[in-house]
Structure 1
Amino acid sequence: MGTASNQRRRRRAAVLFLDWLEQQPGQTWQERWNASEIADDPRSDWRLTVASWARDAGRTGTIGHDGLVAAVTSGLGQLLYADVLRPPMSWLVTSPIRFPLGREIPRLRDPHGFATLAEQATTTGLSFDQRRHAIEQVSVILAAKGGTLADITVGDCLELIELRDRRKAEGAGHPGWGFYQLLHALGHFPPDAPTTLRMLDRRFGNQLSVEELVDQYALACRPVRDLLVAYLAEHRPRLDYASLKQLAYHLAKLFWKDLESHHPGIDSLRLPPDIATAWKSRTAVKTVIVRTADGHQVETSEARADAATLLTTVRALYLDLSHWASEEPERWAAWAVPCPVRRTDIGATKDAARRKSRMDQRTRERLPHLPALRRHVDNARVHAAALLKTADRTPPGETFSRGATSLRRTRIATGSSRIWAEDPVTSTRRDLTREDDTAFWTWAAVEVLHATGIRIEELTELSHHSLVQYRLPSTGELVPLLHIAPSKNDLERLLVISPELADVLAAIIHRVRDAAGAVPLVVPYDVHEHEFTPAMPVLFQHRHGADARPISAGTIRRWITDAANGMGLTDASGALLDFKPHDFRRIFATEAIMNGMPPHICQLIMGHANINTTMGYKAVYPEEAITGHRAYLARRRDLRPSTEYRSPTDEEWEEFLGHFEHRKVSLGTCGRAYGTGCIHEHPCIRCPLLRTEPAQLPRLLEIRDNLLARIDEAREHGWLGEVDGLNVSLSAANNKIAQLEESVRRTTDLGMPRFHDVAPHTITPSTGPHPDPDA
């Protein structure tokens, strides 16, 4: 409230401003404000206008010029806080003179509502600055509209956002949209109100029309521009938006805009031979920016990977126009001209062979480094989590260490949900909360992509509903499955979840669950169709201010690239060896087929419509080609019948599922691949494929003790051959015990729930006959 002298000073300031308002026409204070000159020009220093009147009226008293200007500011502020005046929101946002609305209005207008808002901000994990900005923006709305927090509408929020965006375009700051998420979480909006303002942002959720898709490239020739618009309109009904946008990019940007840039004034599709040849030469290469091993970015030229696609698209344009000219000559005949792209220019067979070679080489370069990448992201996750945990226990201003890293806990405002630290030597600040978030999701993405071979779009669409369990009809054992929703080819499929993948998925769900134990619903954004999809409990999500958002495919790509670059791996040319999400898909297909999985089974798991696509993903190694060719000559007719390259029958699929029943042994699970028998004649204790279960540790210790006793007995009787064999088994048992104890230790540190605790439902087959899939 302030001292008595401060209250008197504020009262005199308010009276001074009211006296100036009395000079304006109108019946109420608000009408006089609206009629004043300062209400029409918020960008000027309106304080000087009122101060000039006060000096002319002899109202300065003993205060000087600076004191008079400060009194004018304070006077208008008191009237705003008390809801005497309500300037429009545009005036409050644009005025160069700022008021402490975020401090005074919560104290005077709706203290309970603002206290609830601040509590919600703390619950959602907003930082101190984000919480302060949210309260300031809500205060601006109340200052302009009046009422309480419960009276704020979605339209009020949109009006403020548009004004803020306009100010941002003019170079002003943008405090974010967190205030809307907080108001929405408090239940102040109708049920059909957008969950996030991103759904109403013009940059999201808008599919450009065919005219806008072409006009964004600013083509100079209007007739050709109109032709391309009409051509895209003809193809629009049969294309999704992503394909339509790609078609516009090829024809308008890479084809015609390139011709206009190099040949100004061109206005006909009939290209002279020299111009056509020059254009095809330019399309064969593109300029890219690559990062060298020392971290520098250099500009270089490389062959365009989709050059054949571009040539095919342009050739299709000319052929379509020629065909349509015979059907609608009045509309298309003027554009029916010879095509500059011949069939021999495309060379689809040669291009496919080169693409296959590039893909295989990329897989062969990255496959040996995949274990190192997995260890790197896992170590980074563990280190970031430990660093964050240590910093959380450290008082602000104190120094702490974790491994070789020494940091000092940063002193920040009270109530911040983020933990910051700084280097004691360089004073560089680090957001440890964000580092832990990035490290965890990078590890999760790498592990899921490696274990499943799914596409990056399918990864971002994984939800809690994707986790199901299948009950085997013969034994009743539960087999965890991962349901992949229809994506590129509209094919849904079920993948068997390995124990390692189950641990990763359980850790993800454990991290994203809210206080009630549920996976929060978020609104995904389809970057290809430029539209928001219904809210789903997606697994790859994190908080972005007050908004829980799905992690985008672009963010995952950037995190994986940063992790790979951090290892400093280089290829044969010395450039950094980057990993893309699709590399894991190729590696998955290569490892699966090389380890004995039949190609038609791999095709189902990969979700390919054609088995040739699956075989194209599998990298070919030189020694494998030689061995495979020799085996082909000797065994093709007997062991590789043509019927293998087909869709599996129900019996084959049942045999594939039954394989997992036969892997169960007393100490755990056998990890041998499908279609292979035990090559060690079942000495499981010595087998490296045995995955021991933590619950079997006492049995394993009993086996070790029994082996020690048998070794002593054999030595007493002089059975030296028996001693050698038992020592081999003893060494294997000790290794298994050490691995199991390490696994138990890591699992205990992470606190991961088991898979069957997080799978939302279980598939139990019916006891009747197997249903016909085509019925």
Structure 2
Amino acid sequence: MIAEIIVSQGGGVRDIAVGDLLLWLQMSDSRETIRILTAYEWFRDLGSLPADAPPTLRRITYRSGQVHPEQLVDRYQLKCQSVRDAIVAYLLERSPAVDYGTVKALSTTLALRFWADIERHHSGIDSLHLSTEVSAAWKARLATKVVRKRQSDGSVVETTEPRRSAVAVKTQVRAFYLDLAPWALEEPEKWAGWVAPCPISAAEIVVKKAERQLKSRMDQRTRERLPAVPMLVKAAERRLKEAQARLRALNEAPLGTEFTVSGETFTVPKTTTRINGRPTRAWESQGVARDFGAEERLAFWAWAAIETLRHTGIRIEELQELGHHSIISYTLPTTGQVVPLLQIAPSKTDQERLLLVTPELADVLSTVVSRIRGTDGRVPVIPSYDGHERVWNPPMPLLFQESHAAERHRLSANFIRRAINETLSDTGLLDSAGKPLTFQPHDFRRIFITDSILNGLPPHIAQVIAGHEHIGTTMGYAAIYPADAIEAHRAFIARRRALRPVEEYRTVTPEEWDEFLGHFERRKLALGECCRAYGTDCAHEHACVRCPVLIVHATERPRLVEIRENLQARIQEAEREGWLGEIEGLQSSLTHAEEKLAQLDAQIARKQEAVDLGIPAFREIVARTTTVDTPQGLS
């Protein structure tokens, strides 16, 4: 390749510049990438490249730096120049106080989700002052999104789903409008021209319901994945042992021969182009080539990532920033015992913290360090790219690194996710929807916090370990299981029961239980229900009309009226016939019947009439009054 560059460009070997390699990289296919990257390393070691040349060609070809807010907004080709300038000025004003990722997200929200959508559906608008119809139409479109899903036959089906980020988008747009107003008071010449009424009210950005829904989804996700962690750990260990056994058998087998491992037979290639003379690929009996080196690499880093994440609960970016210097030892002042600690670099909240290294985690870290050490016994120092801030970090002895494409680089977050999910696919576990179960690195963080709190770790200690600013965030990560609430309630009842006499909790006989249930059956009467206590007899010899514990149903009012009329007729008959002994009892029943009828009518009237709560006057709610003295000469 170097000879081809010399023939094409002219000059000698030391005349090859960085631009020549970049030009050749653009003209070549993917198979030449490794050779070009290797050549760049050689030229850098020879000292023929400029002093300010990047340590790797990957810095130039694969990673871009931060983009100016003006370029971020211009990606969406807004038609209204005035609004475009307002968004750019707003991003420039906000950028010193926030990180680059926030500025980029704001540009997407304001330029794409908000104004580009309005220009697409309402042409001719050239001001932030939106009418009610335009803002309402935009909110309606924002509430849903179109999702394209590829079917098994290759066709693409479009479906409409609710947009979960709608409240967040409206919140950022509302902040954009509300920030312009106070800025206009301070710098009217710069901001006054863009001030307009905010089209989003405070009631539209209430996130309590969305937060509860998110909490419910995350708790369900954690409950579904916590029981799968032991199976995932076993699958990772098994895959790593099998991959190492296959690679070891391949290295021991001569070229062109067959070897058998774990019941599978493979054929070693007859030739190889690798420098060490050993191939990493072999052929299956069906003629399919398998890269044992790539399989072992994927299995090892999957095992290392799973073990580190589940034992520490750190974030994925914190995992990528772990370095050899992060492993420190601490001597207890009281006993002199040396305790290994893991120093977590500031990540999301810029809070540096120390975690206790368990024996299991220490075994994982020592294995990783042994794997990545160079020939001199040191962990290679490599630069890493911060995808959030779009800057290159200074070289560090990172733990999650490997040599690939002729250079050492940090493992990407996508590679770690793919390694974990490929390991999980071997378990055959399914989620609640019947699809293969998947893990995100952040799932281990939620599982770690949930498992720690459920096993007795105080929440405020879990907050320190997780690096949260507020304990509410930590408790939001913890998924409370219904079974745990039930067991806690049962334990509370057991403690209360221990304080009461034992004889109160004897086993009820079937006869007693039938008698208890029969009591409620015998409460049903023609006029309603008898509400006498269990175990008591009827005090009125079943003269229910006289009984104060009779509850008459509203539907039985006609029957009660008939009883009253019948009693009146019987009293008249007794008076006519001279049955003086019955008149007193009939009169008592009539009195009680009329009382119950009056109570029932009053109850029905209360349900039908409206209640005026009233509005208190100012003098009724004022807390205190003040007296203002009138100056002399004024009336």
TM-score, normalised relative to structure 2: 0.72
1:423 equivalent in alignment to 2:284: yes
Contact preservation (8 Å) 2:18, 2:49: no
Q: Could you say which residue in structure 1 is the equivalent of 2:625? A: none
Among residues 364, 375, 384, which one is paired with 2:243 in the alignment? 384
**Amino acid corresponding to residue 390 of structure 1 in structure 2:** A
Shift of 1:164: 2.5
Q: 2: CA distance between counterparts of 1:294 and 1:439?
A: 32
Q: Could you say which residue in structure 2 is the equivalent of 1:117? A: none
Among residues 478, 492, 497, which one is paired with 1:618 in the alignment? 478
Q: Could you say which residue in structure 1 is the equivalent of 2:88? A: 229
Q: 2: CA distance between counterparts of 1:614 and 1:218?
A: 42
Q: Mind listing any 5+ residue stretches in structure 2 that lack a counterpart?
A: 496-635
- Report the structure number with the largest CA radius of gyration: 2
Shift of 1:541: 0.3
Shift of 1:582: 0.3
SS in structure 1 at match of 2:300: helix
Q: 2: CA distance between counterparts of 1:631 and 1:308?
A: 41
Q: 1: CA distance between counterparts of 2:189 and 2:305?
A: 55
SS in structure 1 at match of 2:408: strand
Shift of 1:302: 4.2
Q: Could you say which residue in structure 1 is the equivalent of 2:234? A: 375
Q: 1: CA distance between counterparts of 2:490 and 2:151?
A: 42
Q: Could you say which residue in structure 2 is the equivalent of 1:309? A: 168
Q: Could you say which residue in structure 2 is the equivalent of 1:279? A: 138
Contact preservation (8 Å) 2:308, 2:364: yes
| Alpha-carbon displacement from aligned partner over 1:716-775 (angstroms, at most 9, x marks no partner) | xxxxxxxxxxxxxxxxxxxxxxxxxxxxxxxxxxxxxxxxxxxxxxxxxxxxxxxxxxxx
1:343 equivalent in alignment to 2:205: no
Q: 2: CA distance between counterparts of 1:560 and 1:297?
A: 28
1:220 equivalent in alignment to 2:79: yes
**Amino acid corresponding to residue 411 of structure 1 in structure 2:** K
Q: How does 1:132-171 map to 2 (within 5 A)?
A: 136-137=1-2, 140-141=5-6, 144=9, 146-148=11-13, 151-152=14-15, 156-167=16-27
Q: 2: CA distance between counterparts of 1:161 and 1:212?
A: 28
SS in structure 2 at match of 1:255: helix
Contact preservation (8 Å) 2:450, 2:478: yes
Q: Structure 1's 504 and 187: CA in aligned 2 closer, same or farther, altered over 3 A?
A: farther
CA RMSD of aligned residues (A): 2.9
Contact preservation (8 Å) 1:291, 1:575: no
Percent identity at matched positions? 46
Q: Structure 1's 196 and 279: CA in aligned 2 closer, same or farther, altered over 3 A?
A: same
Q: Mind listing any 5+ residue stretches in structure 1 that lack a counterpart?
A: 1-135, 636-775
Q: Could you say which residue in structure 1 is the equivalent of 2:367? A: 507
**Amino acid corresponding to residue 428 of structure 1 in structure 2:** V
Q: 2: CA distance between counterparts of 1:172 and 1:469?
A: 45
Contact preservation (8 Å) 1:308, 1:346: yes
Q: Could you say which residue in structure 1 is the equivalent of 2:469? A: 609
**Amino acid corresponding to residue 82 of structure 2 in structure 1:** P
Q: Structure 1's 563 and 295: CA in aligned 2 closer, same or farther, altered over 3 A?
A: farther
Q: Structure 1's 273 and 467: CA in aligned 2 closer, same or farther, altered over 3 A?
A: same
Among residues 244, 259, 262, which one is paired with 2:118 in the alignment? 259
**Size of the alignment, in residue pairs?**
492
Contact preservation (8 Å) 1:157, 1:180: no
Contact preservation (8 Å) 2:6, 2:12: no
1:452 equivalent in alignment to 2:317: no
TM-score, normalised relative to structure 1: 0.59
Q: Could you say which residue in structure 1 is the equivalent of 2:303? A: 443
Among residues 296, 320, 327, which one is paired with 2:179 in the alignment? 320
Q: Structure 1's 193 and 356: CA in aligned 2 closer, same or farther, altered over 3 A?
A: same
**Amino acid corresponding to residue 11 of structure 2 in structure 1:** G
Q: Could you say which residue in structure 2 is the equivalent of 1:107? A: none
Q: Structure 1's 490 and 433: CA in aligned 2 closer, same or farther, altered over 3 A?
A: same
Shift of 1:179: 0.9
Q: Structure 1's 498 and 295: CA in aligned 2 closer, same or farther, altered over 3 A?
A: farther
| Alpha-carbon displacement from aligned partner over 1:38-86 (angstroms, at most 9, x marks no partner) | xxxxxxxxxxxxxxxxxxxxxxxxxxxxxxxxxxxxxxxxxxxxxxxxx
Shift of 1:377: 1.6
Q: Could you say which residue in structure 1 is the equivalent of 2:261? A: 402
**Amino acid corresponding to residue 119 of structure 2 in structure 1:** E
Q: 2: CA distance between counterparts of 1:186 and 1:517?
A: 24
Q: Could you say which residue in structure 2 is the equivalent of 1:589? A: 449
Q: 1: CA distance between counterparts of 2:250 and 2:366?
A: 26
Contact preservation (8 Å) 1:210, 1:233: yes
Q: 1: CA distance between counterparts of 2:121 and 2:493?
A: 55
1:183 equivalent in alignment to 2:48: no
Q: 2: CA distance between counterparts of 1:506 and 1:288?
A: 45
Higher relative contact order structure (alpha carbons within 8 Å, sequence separation ≥ 6): 1
Q: Structure 1's 299 and 365: CA in aligned 2 closer, same or farther, altered over 3 A?
A: farther
Q: 2: CA distance between counterparts of 1:391 and 1:295?
A: 39
Among residues 496, 504, 507, which one is paired with 2:356 in the alignment? 496
Shift of 1:300: 5.1
**Amino acid corresponding to residue 357 of structure 1 in structure 2:** S
Shift of 1:198: 2.3
Q: Could you say which residue in structure 2 is the equivalent of 1:727? A: none
Q: Could you say which residue in structure 1 is the equivalent of 2:424? A: 564
Contact preservation (8 Å) 1:571, 1:577: yes
Shift of 1:146: 3.4
Shift of 1:359: 1.2
Shift of 1:304: 3.3
Q: Could you say which residue in structure 2 is the equivalent of 1:93? A: none
Q: 2: CA distance between counterparts of 1:516 and 1:253?
A: 52
**Amino acid corresponding to residue 183 of structure 1 in structure 2:** F
